[in-house]
Amino acid sequence: MNDNDKAISVLAQAIRKAVHSCLASAPFDITIVGKVVSRDSSGLYTVELNGKHYKAKAQGSVQHTAGAVVRILVPQNNYEDLWILAP
């Protein structure tokens, strides 16, 4: 590999890293498959996404049980405002 090829490789790697970093915090909706852990008395669910626990509201009148695999909406990449989507 000559010097030009090395320079292009380093530049491409830096561009990929910058794009991934920007996308990680970009404001767009994400839908993720997660698991219901529990439901509290107010109807708020604890869900597990990628090994972490979050609070989520449920869409519609469907009640989800612990262990259920569900689709979860992350509006505008905001993990403080999760919604369990109705099946």
Question: Which tens digit of pLDDT belongs to each residue from 15-59?
Answer: 999 999 988 778 889 999 999 999 999 989 999 999 999 999 998
Structural contact between residues 47 and 82, judged by C-beta atoms closer than 8 angstroms: yes
How far apart CA 45 and CA 36 sit, in angstroms, is: 7
Does the predicted TM-score (pTM) go above 0.85?
no
**At residue 86, does pLDDT exceed 90?**
no
Q: Where are the chain's structural domains?
A: 30-84
Count of alpha carbons within 13 Å of 55, Cβ hemisphere only? 6
Q: Which amino acid is at 59?
A: Q
Closest CA to 68 of 30, 38, 31: 38
CATH code for the domain defined by 30-84? 2.40.50.140
